[in-house]
Amino acid sequence: MYLLGLGLALMIMKYLAVGPVADWSWWVVLAPFGLAVLWWTWADHSGYTKKKAMERENNRRQDRINRNRENMGAPTKKNRR
């Protein structure tokens, strides 16, 4: 997501001819978009995206279990993050 933000900022600066970015090549300005595509491709193929989603889901589940235990007055387990 940071690469997309950087790419948008550079593209707007290039289009409006602001600062030193106005003199840069369009290839340099648009490079963050290509890097974002490469990152997403790697993240999907390596399982990184799925792993992070499973961690968020497990943490949410554990938080819900801890809340229910607190409401019943039972001791809670530490949340592993």
> Nearest 5 degrees, angle CA 72-CA 75-CA 77?
120
What is the pLDDT confidence band of residue 42, given thresholds at 50, 70 and 90?
A: very high
Task: Give per-residue pLDDT as tens, 5-37.
Answer: 999 999 999 999 999 999 999 999 999 999 999
For tokens 């607190």, name the residue. Answer: 70
pLDDT at 80 over 90: no
Domain positions in the chain are: 2-46, 53-81
> How far is it, in rounded angstroms, from Cα 23 to Cα 25?
7
What pLDDT score does 8 carry? 96
For tokens 């968020």, name the residue. Answer: 56
pLDDT at 47 over 60: yes
